[in-house]
A and B are shown apart, each in its own frame.
Chain A
Amino acid sequence: MGRYLKLWGEFFALSRRRRPLLTAATVAVIVCNVVLVAVSALALRAAVDAMVRGEVRGAVFASVAAGVAYAVNLVLQDVSGLLRNTTVDRIGRLELHPEVHRDIAGIEGIEHLERSDFLDRVTLVRASSGQLVQSMWNAITAVSNVAKLGVTMLLLGTVSPWLLLLLVFAVAPVWCDHRGQSVVRRVELETAEDVRLEQHLADLAVGAASGKEIRVAGAGPELVRRQAQAWERAMVPRVRARALAAAWKLAGWLVFVTGFIGGLALVAYRTAQGSGTVGDLVLAVTVAATLRQTVQNTVTSTTSTAGAGRLIEPFLWLRDYVAAQRARAEGATAPPRTLRTGIALESVSYSYPGTGRPALDDVSATLPAGAVVAIVGEYGSGKTTLVKLLAKLYRQDSGRILVDGLDLDAISTTGWRARISAAFQDFGRFHTTFARTVGLGDLAHLTDRGRIQRAVREADAQDIAAALPDGLDTQLGTELGGVELSEGQWQRTALARASMREDPLLFVLDEPTASLDAPSEQAIFERHMARARVLGRRTGAVTVIVSHRFSTVTGADLILVLHRGRLVESGTHAELMALDGRYADLYGIQATAYAEESAS
């Protein structure tokens, strides 16, 4: 609880600092809401009493006060939601939102995006910066609602101290309503899976891409049937829960009404005896009329405050995680200007957290400066893991990676990354302009058209750009009114992006041509090999090509063959063929398919 209070305090301070006017207004409205309950009820009593006593001046004065109090109350009720939501929205979107995204995207590694349990939390926090701020206001509102309940009871106490006993009766509706609402919440959680399934099936049914297969398989009616079933499965328990909650609520109120009518009878008795006024009666009744809403608001706001942990826990986790990641020495050494010897792996091992099996197991190798190094192996052999270690996207569990003898861990991550470039197998598809999606490969030259055009040519993508309606400035992504690229075209944007930097020390091509046709593959491949040589001469850069297509790697200076995380063979193509091991075996399968005589 202490941590929550501290966080809410922090949010409130943030809100007050960045939006002082809105924050003050929101607080004022909340306070006024409590005060006005008392003012309007007291004014009404005064008006009625004055009428009964025949005091014209008093009656006019009190009735004006009551009318104004009601008018203000009505407006405040109306405005408070809008005011609070917009305050939350602005703080959430403008302050917390960028902070959270900067944290998530700024962590050195990407484990938190790849581990599903971490990603669940990250995704939740990312989408709920507004709700986090809202939870702070929920807590304030919960307090104010309790205060309102207290004021209401005190007002009844002014009529007769006996009416304070109603507080005991008021516990019944609060308790019962709370029970009912928790049933509703529980059932909503339980049926959330079916709601998601219903949404998923509906999305498939109406999707253009999925529509093709659904029609061919004749799956449309079946999907709609299952969608209806999922809906039914989710809704039947929800309605039942609401019915149960309604029963609870009614039971609670019956208890209160019993007590309240008793209290009213007491007031009526006193009035008849002359020790009370008709105004007291009116006050008791009007106050009681607002009580239902007050109780309900109290329950709702306290329940949602109590449920804020669902968001706050992941948020605090993310903060701790970010802090822990930052605390890990980033490295301060600048990377060498050029590579002289190369990159050396010394007994490098890495296991994905939560898995027992090492993805890389005691791998030692030297990637000589200026060389083209191919990493081959089957799926799951650790190829991509190795290049991710080189890009510092992971840190090895044991062993060292040395860049010209400098420990990579000691080299500044930012500095190192500024000197590498990569096209990954699962590359990013940035729905922005074509020029920008390429230019992002070198932020300093984001608007350098010449540089971008050169990179586009390197990736054999000039024909894509030429065919686009607005050329390089074409917006990508149909949801933004832009153009959708095919898989192969996207891949070429990734390659172009990777070609933006002109002086990298490490250049990674991870399955660079998986979606391309033969001539494109050939063109790109030759250009990148040529580029590798140029870079090699210029900065001693190491080019790493990851592939399971063996035809693409035969020309490499060094081929590393990985199998289940271990380096099983290494050498040139000729050496490995002569070895007649794993590489020769896999190569054979593919080469036979291309052999002069028909394979079949």
Chain B
Amino acid sequence: MHVIAGRMRLVRILAAARPLLLVSLAVALLIESVIPAATAAALAFLVGELDQASGVGTADLFAVALVPLGAFAGVLVLGHLAEAVVAPLEQLAAARIDGRHRTEVTRLAATSDTIAALEDPEVQVLVRQALADRSHGYDCTPSDGALGQLRWAAGLVGAVAACAVVASFSWWLVPLILLPAAANRVIRTRDNLRLVGFWREATAGELHADVWRQAAVSPAEGKDVRVFGFVGWMVDRMQEHVRAANGGLWRYIDRMLSMSWRQALFVAVGLVPAYVVVAMSAAEGRTTPAVATAVLTAGWSLFLVLGPSSDMYEIVSAVRVLEATDELRAALAAPPATPRGLRAPPESGPAPLVRFEQVGFGYPATGRAVLRGLDLDIRPGELLAIVGLNGAGKSTLIKLLAGLYRPVSGRITVDGVDLALVDPVLWRTKISIVFQDFVRYQLTARDNVALGQAGLPAEQSLIDEAATSAGLGEVLERLPDGWDTPLSRSRSGGVDLSGGQWQQVVLARALYAVRRGARLLVLDEPTAHLDVRTEFEVFDRLGANRGETSVVLISHRLSTVRQADRIVLLDGGRITESGTHDRLMALGGAYAEMFAIQAERFRRGYDDRMEEGTSQWDAI
């Protein structure tokens, strides 16, 4: 049943190719597959006519041959025509089927409410399978399977036609040739499927070798490789992984190759007796040479039709792709935590009041609690800084705020409404976030800014304003086509930007979203790649331009943080300190200590040098 369901799915996705194309393709494939049988029949016709007419005079004889010759020419032309037509038709059908499939998968993955499933490594495996990425060792797309199945069905018709020609001599020759041919195909298919299994394993195993392969061509890893001098070691490791990964595959191929005589035997067992029987009966005059010729050519064509074929492999692989897509759909359609009325976020006020109430959260993969009973207000219009050690949960907090994850316990409210009840798409138009690992679109500079708020048509004047605020002007001036320059060298006319330049682009993207109606701007380490002067300018401008928008800033640079209206310290999964810089310094807690550490260096820098003599570092 399972197998049939998979086959039916392949039939259903053919619909994407649209009826007219499908019918034309099916006809062309059918013609193509009966050509060998038709050739045999036409040849027999010709031989027969010549044989019968051998006593007649020369001129008549030639006239007799004209008709079968014409038939033969017709078959030949038809064959070429069908073969020529099939290629573009298949390409068009494949483009339609795969195009629809790919956008279906990406739409599924890009528009689910939360990010929880997508961050699950197992779901990522499903995504790769569903997209059938060749680079990840999957090589059959849904169209390969669907069209392969169509070809396979047409091939069966061709086989029946060939059998009919053979049966014109004797019915029992059909099973004599057909059974070994079918058995041969079954064995070959099984071998090939196993081969693919080994090949998949090899591809997975080579991921370990990829680490060192990448290291060889990466400038970052390349420096370490050279300074620490482990080229030789690295290549040896790589080859160890290559050997280990491919060992099984290669052993299996060796076995397949050494067993191929068995296959020859199979074919011979069917063909040779049949040929002998036909040849003898024709030589003894019991059969006409015409029939014998037909059987000889048709018997061979039966093997061609049923012979080695990648169809079955394509079918099985493509069914797996479709199954993975179903599993992906199920994984991404996680049931909403609470029944949702899907309300629009409240419009009141310049910026929302966001309140974390006793929020607890841990990632499903690790199970470790990241946030424990966290209470936090983000007040309208304030500049709130969140500080904490690496791994304190600052970025997690941001993901909860954006509704990318749902709290395990407690709740987040927006102007008093539970975030779980708010339509996430509408809520997200109210916020804008610069993530640490922001997206570098290989699109034009304009698109890279305008995609800060993709729900609304791009507005050039607002894009310009955002660019000015983010200090992007200098970068833009250097772009060959200004706003129309693609920000990737892989695009024609495109350029690569440095880390700092990208950060400015992304800042402009966020500020564009603010101009497009976002009322809460979140910046997660937004200046890590910027130098002192640029960072200083960026924050200066940000302070001047934010208007009534609330800003949440996450940063390790406490000199930047101190300008915030309020600073909160995240420690042990909850807020442990909150207040202005001066208050927190007066409090003398963990924040004051962190600030002191960074500030101290500046002061001590003076003091130690004033004293001359021993450096501070000798004292440690």
Closest approach, in angstroms, between the C-beta of A169 and any C-beta of chain B?
Answer: 13
Closest approach, in angstroms, between the C-beta of A500 and any C-beta of chain B?
Answer: 8
Closest approach, in angstroms, between the C-beta of A540 and any C-beta of chain B?
Answer: 16
Fill in one digit per residue for B477-512: 1 if any A CB lies within 8 Å of its CB, else 0.
000000000000111100010101000000001000
Closest approach, in angstroms, between the C-beta of B104 and any C-beta of chain A?
Answer: 9
Fill in one digit per residue for A241-280: 1 if any B CB lies within 8 Å of its CB, else 0.
0110111011001100100110011001101111000100
**Residues in B neighbouring A426, C-beta threshold 8 A:** 219-220, 223
Q: Which of B160-168, B283-291, B408-416 contacts A (4 or more CB under 8 A)?
A: B283-291
Q: Which of B148-156, B313-321, B342-350, B527-535 contacts A (4 or more CB under 8 A)?
A: B527-535
Q: Flag if B404 contacts A110 (CB, 8 Å).
A: no
Closest approach, in angstroms, between the C-beta of B597 and any C-beta of chain A?
Answer: 5
A285 within 8 Å of B by Cβ? yes
Most buried by B among A59, A198, A393, A488: A59
Residue of A nearest to B99 (CB): A231
**Residues in A neighbouring B268, C-beta threshold 8 A:** 67-68, 71
Tell which of B231, B308, B438 touches A78, judged by Cβ atoms closer than 8 Å: B308
Closest approach, in angstroms, between the C-beta of B400 and any C-beta of chain A?
Answer: 12
Tell which of A59, A393, A478, A530 touches B280, judged by Cβ atoms closer than 8 Å: A59
Q: Flag if A211 contacts B109 (CB, 8 Å).
A: yes
A182 within 8 Å of B by Cβ? no
Known: A105-B225, A119-B217, A426-B220. A217 touches B453 (CB 8 A): yes
B159 within 8 Å of A by Cβ? no
**Residues in B neighbouring A214, C-beta threshold 8 A:** 110, 439
CA distance A110 to B439 in the complex (A): 28
Within 8 A of B (CB), among A374-433: 378-379, 388, 391, 393, 414, 417-418, 420-422, 424, 426-432
Closest approach, in angstroms, between the C-beta of A512 and any C-beta of chain B?
Answer: 14
**Residues in B neighbouring A98, C-beta threshold 8 A:** 235, 238-239
Q: Flag if B610 contacts A443 (CB, 8 Å).
A: no
A142 within 8 Å of B by Cβ? no
Within 8 A of A (CB), among B38-73: 39, 43, 46-47, 50-51, 53-54, 58, 61-62, 65-66, 69, 72-73
B361 within 8 Å of A by Cβ? no
Give chain B's interface secondary structure class.
helix
Fill in one digit per residue for B70-99: 1 if any A CB lies within 8 Å of its CB, else 0.
001100110011011101100110010001
**Residues in B neighbouring A273, C-beta threshold 8 A:** 58, 61
Q: Flag if B243 contacts A94 (CB, 8 Å).
A: yes
Give chain A's interface secondary structure class.
helix
Q: Flag if B207 contacts A205 (CB, 8 Å).
A: no
Tell which of A198, A209, A228, A573 touches B609, judged by Cβ atoms closer than 8 Å: A573
A308 within 8 Å of B by Cβ? no
Residue of B nearest to A108 (CB): B226
A312 within 8 Å of B by Cβ? no
Within 8 A of A (CB), among B188-245: 188, 207-208, 211-213, 215-235, 238-239, 242-243
Q: Flag if A574 contacts B609 (CB, 8 Å).
A: yes
Known: A51-B279, A75-B260. A378 touches B533 (CB 8 A): yes
B436 within 8 Å of A by Cβ? yes
Q: Flag if A104 contacts B216 (CB, 8 Å).
A: yes
Closest approach, in angstroms, between the C-beta of B577 and any C-beta of chain A?
Answer: 14
Q: Flag if B102 contacts A249 (CB, 8 Å).
A: no
CA distance A260 to B72 in the complex (A): 11
Known: A78-B308, A227-B103, A292-B83. A557 touches B615 (CB 8 A): yes
CA distance A254 to B74 in the complex (A): 11
Tell which of B47, B224, B275 touches A440, judged by Cβ atoms closer than 8 Å: B224
Closest approach, in angstroms, between the C-beta of B600 and any C-beta of chain A?
Answer: 8
CA distance A598 to B188 in the complex (A): 79
Most buried by B among A52, A193, A202, A212: A212
Q: Flag if A281 contacts B46 (CB, 8 Å).
A: yes
Q: Flag if A422 contacts B496 (CB, 8 Å).
A: no
B175 within 8 Å of A by Cβ? no
Closest approach, in angstroms, between the C-beta of B431 and any C-beta of chain A?
Answer: 6
Q: Flag if A206 contacts B223 (CB, 8 Å).
A: no
Total residues of chain A contacting the partner, CB 8 A: 189
Closest approach, in angstroms, between the C-beta of A225 and any C-beta of chain B?
Answer: 8
CA distance A37 to B616 in the complex (A): 88
B22 within 8 Å of A by Cβ? no
A526 within 8 Å of B by Cβ? yes
Known: A217-B451, A223-B110. A105 touches B234 (CB 8 A): yes
Q: Which of A79-87, A330-338, A346-354 contacts B (4 or more CB under 8 A)?
A: A79-87
Closest approach, in angstroms, between the C-beta of A533 and any C-beta of chain B?
Answer: 6
A514 within 8 Å of B by Cβ? yes
**Residues in B neighbouring A105, C-beta threshold 8 A:** 215-216, 222, 225-226, 231, 234-235
A149 within 8 Å of B by Cβ? no
Known: A105-B234, A231-B99, A379-B500. A193 touches B224 (CB 8 A): no
**Residues in B neighbouring A51, C-beta threshold 8 A:** 279, 282-283, 289, 292
A101 within 8 Å of B by Cβ? yes
Q: Flag if A113 contacts B439 (CB, 8 Å).
A: no
A572 within 8 Å of B by Cβ? yes
A593 within 8 Å of B by Cβ? yes
B421 within 8 Å of A by Cβ? no
B598 within 8 Å of A by Cβ? yes
B578 within 8 Å of A by Cβ? no
Q: Flag if B581 contacts A598 (CB, 8 Å).
A: yes
A148 within 8 Å of B by Cβ? no
Q: Flag if B597 contacts A519 (CB, 8 Å).
A: yes
Q: Flag if B276 contacts A216 (CB, 8 Å).
A: no
Q: Flag if B85 contacts A90 (CB, 8 Å).
A: no
**Residues in B neighbouring A359, C-beta threshold 8 A:** none
Q: Which of A42-50, A150-158, A320-328, A451-459 contacts B (4 or more CB under 8 A)?
A: A42-50
Closest approach, in angstroms, between the C-beta of A253 and any C-beta of chain B?
Answer: 4
B336 within 8 Å of A by Cβ? no
**Residues in B neighbouring A239, C-beta threshold 8 A:** 88, 91-92, 95
Q: Flag if B615 contacts A216 (CB, 8 Å).
A: no
Q: Flag if A590 contacts B602 (CB, 8 Å).
A: yes
Q: Flag if A480 contacts B208 (CB, 8 Å).
A: yes
Closest approach, in angstroms, between the C-beta of B340 and any C-beta of chain A?
Answer: 16
Known: A56-B280, A126-B213, A589-B536. A489 touches B243 (CB 8 A): no
Known: A232-B99, A239-B92, A520-B390. A599 touches B284 (CB 8 A): no
Q: Flag if B213 contacts A205 (CB, 8 Å).
A: no
**Residues in B neighbouring A289, C-beta threshold 8 A:** 36, 39
B324 within 8 Å of A by Cβ? no
Q: Flag if A126 contacts B91 (CB, 8 Å).
A: no
B33 within 8 Å of A by Cβ? no
Tell which of B231, B253, B278, B425 touches A82, judged by Cβ atoms closer than 8 Å: B253
CA distance A55 to B148 in the complex (A): 45
Most buried by A among B81, B439, B595: B439
Known: A70-B303, A105-B235, A261-B72. A286 touches B602 (CB 8 A): no
**Residues in B neighbouring A526, C-beta threshold 8 A:** 617, 620
Closest approach, in angstroms, between the C-beta of B606 and any C-beta of chain A?
Answer: 8
**Residues in A neighbouring B428, C-beta threshold 8 A:** 215-218
Q: Flag if A93 contacts B221 (CB, 8 Å).
A: no
Tell which of A205, A209, A600 touches B563, judged by Cβ atoms closer than 8 Å: A600
Fill in one digit per residue for B260-277: 1 if any A CB lies within 8 Å of its CB, else 0.
110111011001101110
**Residues in A neighbouring B531, C-beta threshold 8 A:** 378-379, 548
**Residues in A neighbouring B250, C-beta threshold 8 A:** 86, 89-90
Tell which of B111, B127, B246, B558 touches A93, judged by Cβ atoms closer than 8 Å: B246
CA distance A574 to B235 in the complex (A): 49
CA distance A98 to B216 in the complex (A): 11
Most buried by B among A71, A77, A246, A264: A71
Across the A-B interface, the 7 shortest Cβ-Cβ residue pairs? A554-B605, A593-B559, A220-B110, A428-B221, A67-B272, A551-B601, A63-B279
What are 23 sample pairs from A and B whose C-beta atoms fall under 8 A apart? A75-B260, A75-B263, A78-B308, A105-B216, A207-B118, A210-B439, A215-B404, A216-B402, A216-B404, A236-B95, A238-B91, A247-B84, A250-B84, A391-B226, A478-B121, A518-B556, A519-B593, A520-B390, A522-B598, A548-B532, A554-B605, A586-B533, A598-B582
